[in-house]
Structure 1
Amino acid sequence: MGLILKFTKHVLNFKFDAGTSRGVLKTKEAWILKVYQAGNPKIYGLGEVSTIERLSFDYSVDFESELEELKKELAQMELPQYENDIYKLVKNVVSEYRPAIRFGLETALLDLLHGGEFKIFNNDFYHSEKGIPINGLIWMGERDFMKQQIDEKLKLGFKCIKLKIGAIDFDAECELLKYIRSQYPADQLILRVDANGAFITQDVLKKLERLIDFDLHSIEQPIMPKQPEAMQLVCEKSQVPIALDEELIGVFSKRDKTELLKDIKPKYIILKPSLVGGFAATAEWIEIAESQHMGWWITSALESNIGLNAICQFTAGYNYVGHQGLGTGQLFENNIHSPLAIQGEEIVYNQTLSWDYADLEFN
């Protein structure tokens, strides 16, 4: 019968200027995929091709022409009957150098396999029986804006917050961390920080030394990626546990993944399925990390609720430890309405709520 692919571009608008050490984000592009079997257009799966400027390996790709080519490939394919066969199909038709497309196509095909009901993985999360504890993300900005976000998260019941650092004055950031710890000691609040590679190699160890006072759970990507010797030294010398994040982007083969973790020896790795190449690639990273006794958690990367839903369901299939880095679905003015909701510090799938994507027009 063949598989029919349709797609549409959806530009997400932030509710506020989202500050990172790489600059301020106001909008975010996504391509929504719709896949169905020829002759049966009423049952379809949706997926999301999600990239972030200056971060995604395939950000500069002409997605429209790539997806047009993918249409032709899929027209010759049948829908696999098993999850592993879907991963094989995606691997065959989408290059590893297109991680965002792999993520989107895996999601759409898994959705279609399960009847086109946004059930990407059949587990307790989808059936509203299990929530996932997440960290509350604090965006960079003026001190008062950051303090306001922190207070709001703590009132909502978050027991783990993640603070982006590296964009404003480091002394001011340390003052914020000091304020948090003065209000909430480490046994009451888990505190993570994410530098997004903002520290320079010459003074990173001095800065990490200053951060010791704040009882941090971890710091993500203190220096820019692709400096393996420097990062290995940071992991060895730092008393603050190091988590690799951007370091994993663009590393595709199992051998390269294994060597990277073996050489650098981080305490944790952070996995963003839309950036590392989808669920099969993420599962491979987890397997390698666990074999080397490293911790991990999964993080969304500014996807719409279509991508976020898939990542949540994938995450729920693991016996993970601690808080995940999943989004709340509340960043965008024009997000796709979904059953995802926040209850206390958990993201849940509320089966009493419905999806609404009527505004999407597929070509």
Structure 2
Amino acid sequence: MTREFKLYRKQLHFKFKAGTSRGYYTTRDCYFLTIEENGEIKGIGECSPLPGLSAEFSDKKSFEAKLEAFTARANFDKNFNLSVLKNESSILFAFESALLHEDRKSFLLFNNAFTKGTTPININGLIWMGDYETMRKRIIAKIHDGFKCIKVKIGAIDFAKEIDLLKLIRSEFAEKDLTLRVDANGAFSPDEALTKLNELAKYDIHSIEQPIKAGQYDSLCQICKESPIPVALDEELIGINDSRKKEKLLEQIKPSFIVLKPTLHGGLKSTIEWIKLAQSYEIGYWITSALESSIGLNVIAQFTGSLNLSNHQGLGTGRLFDDNLDFPALKLNGEQMTFDSSALDKVNLKEFLS
């Protein structure tokens, strides 16, 4: 019986131009690592780094070469250990996922109340950037769909227009009825950040993700200390894979929250380490997908279900693509994500990977 790791590449297409302050996404390059025996898939994991964000990704050609090299090494080196992937976040997540799938012999990876179908995961409604009218319609649609927590990406259109959008939301929905998060993706300059945060604070904002670009520690420390809105770190955590450096970052910056993405933040094991450190410093957290296909989202959702979190998670990206893998076990009804294990046998991997 021959067991081997294999790679598959697939490009997914967004249903719309997905805008952030860093630009727009129209396609998504995904890589899938399988464990196969005699042509039968025994395990699968997704490796989908985000160009411009993932620390292990410099350019497509060199990344693919690195991914192929690690895959080949896993096949010929009997002592291959995942520790060598410590700084290869998305690749490590793919290996962790594939090995977990192989071990469980099923897409049912975690045993918890979510995967048993008894406890749903509440997710936030994500509002991608666009022109004012497009964003207004998206916000109204999410609220009408039953979302009690909305996350609005800001920093790409005129700030006054973004304020108008938040004013529109708060004119109809009070803080007790709707939680409002914003994500700047590092769009503010350090000099203007506090001024803008004071303006945003008028609209009862729950939190702001990454107000300034990562790596500006002194400025970020000041902002976290003086901001009238709780600050959540996201991009700031990327590439920080050493335990002591993680602790130093949280101790020094003292954010209110951290936003964890296994694909970007070192895989599942590293995410658990971030969580334990955050808890020790009384820092809140939630889990977010990073534009993975259904394969990666399944792992992240089931993992999140094991954490017994009551706040809203960022797992609503599964419907972004025209050509995503049909994964009927994950269901979305308004803001509630549920899991139906009886639908796992309907997943057609071979057709998706072909």
Question: After TM superposition, is the score higher than 0.5?
Answer: yes
2 CA distance for matches of 1:241 and 1:141? 25
Query: Whole-Å Cα distance in 2 between the matches of residues 89 and 133 of structure 1?
Result: 35
Return the TM-score normalized by structure 2: 0.94
C-alpha contact 1:110 1:121 (8 A) present in aligned 2: no
Q: Separation in 1 of the partners of 2:148 and 2:11?
A: 32
Q: What is the match of residue 82 of structure 1?
A: none
1:25 paired with 2:25, answer: yes
Measure the CA separation in 2 of the matches of 1:20 and 1:130.
32
> For 2:55, which of 57, 67, 79 is the aligned residue?
57
Runs (5+) with no aligned partner, structure 1: 80-87
- Cα drift, residue 155 of structure 1: 1.1
* Equivalent residue, structure 2, for 1:316: 305
The alpha carbon displacement at 1:201 in A equals 0.7
Partner of 1:355: 347
CA contact (8 A) 2:7 2:71 kept: no
1:42 has 2:40 as partner? yes
Output the amino acid matched with 1:229: D
**Once the 2 structures are TM-superposed, how far is the Cα of residue 343 of structure 1 from its aligned partner?**
1.4
TM-superposed deviation, 1:320? 1.9
Match of 1:184 in 2: 173
Alignment of 1:261-276 (within 5 A): 261-276=250-265
1:1-363 map, 5 Å? 3-36=3-36, 39=37, 41-42=39-40, 44-60=42-58, 62-76=62-76, 89-91=81-83, 94-115=84-105, 117-339=106-328, 340-353=330-343, 354-361=346-353
The TM-score, its normalising length taken from structure 1, stands at 0.92
The number of equivalent residue pairs is 349
> Aligned partners of 1:358, 1:75: CA distance in 2, in Å?
21
CA distance in 1, matches of 2:154, 2:341: 36
Distance (Å, rounded) in 1 between the aligned partners of 2:77 and 2:277: 31
Letter in 2 for 1:32: F
- Which range moves more in the overlay, 157-166 or 312-321? 312-321
Name the SS for the 1:275 alignment partner: coil
Moved more, 321-330 or 159-168: 321-330
What are the Cα deviations for residues 281-335 of structure 1, in whole angstroms up to 9, with x where unaligned? 0000000000000000000000000001100011111132311111241100011
Separation in structure 2 between the aligned mates of residue 2 and residue 234 of structure 1, nearest angstrom: 55
1:136/1:160 contact within 8 Å kept = yes
Partners of 1:3 and 1:68 lie apart in 2 by: 17
One-letter amino acid matched to 1:311? I
Within 2, Cα distance between the matches of 1:112 and 1:122? 15
1:60 aligned counterpart, secondary structure = coil
Distance (whole Å) between structure 2 residues aligned to residue 118 and residue 161 of structure 1 = 30
Alpha-carbon distance between aligned partners in 1 of 2:185 and 2:142, rounded to the nearest angstrom: 21
Name the SS for the 1:5 alignment partner: strand
Does structure 2 conserve the Cα–Cα contact (< 8 Å) formed by 1:21 and 1:167? yes
1:174–1:228 distance in 2 versus 1, CA, 3 Å: same
Asked if 1 retains the 8 angstrom alpha-carbon contact of 2:34 and 2:41, the reply is no
Give distance in 2, aligned partners of 1:143 and 1:106. 41
Q: How big is the shift at 1:69?
A: 2.2
Does the 8 A contact of 1:134 with 1:347 survive in 2? yes
Deviations 1:231-279 (A, max 9, x none): 0000000010000010000111000000000000000000010001100
Deviation at 1:125, TM superposition (A): 2.3
The DSSP-based 3-state class of the residue aligned with 2:318 is coil
Question: Using the alignment, how far apart are the partners of 1:67 and 1:22 within structure 2?
Answer: 25
- Could you tell me how far 1:156 is from its partner in structure 2? 1.1
Q: Contact between 1:33 and 1:47, CA under 8 Å: does it hold in 2?
A: yes
Say what the alpha-carbon RMSD is for the aligned residues: 1.8
**Aligned-partner Cα distance in 1 for 2:180–2:47:** 31
Residue number in structure 2 paired with 1:84: none
Moved more, 155-164 or 127-136: 127-136
Amino acid at match of 1:355: V
Contact 2:325–2:352 (Cα < 8 Å) also in 1: no
Structure 1 position 227, deviation (Å) = 0.5
Give the Å deviation of 1:144: 1.2
| Range moving further from structure 2, 195-204 or 124-133 | 124-133
SS of residue matched to 1:149? helix
> For the Cα contact (< 8 Å) 1:132–1:346, is it kept in 2?
yes
Alpha-carbon distance, 1:56 to partner: 1.1
- Deviation string, structure 1 residues 62-87 (Cα, Å, up to 9, x no partner): 343223322333235679xxxxxxxx
Moved more, 61-70 or 186-195: 61-70
AA paired with 2:183?
D
Note if contact 1:138-1:150 (Cα within 8 Å) is conserved in structure 2.
Answer: yes
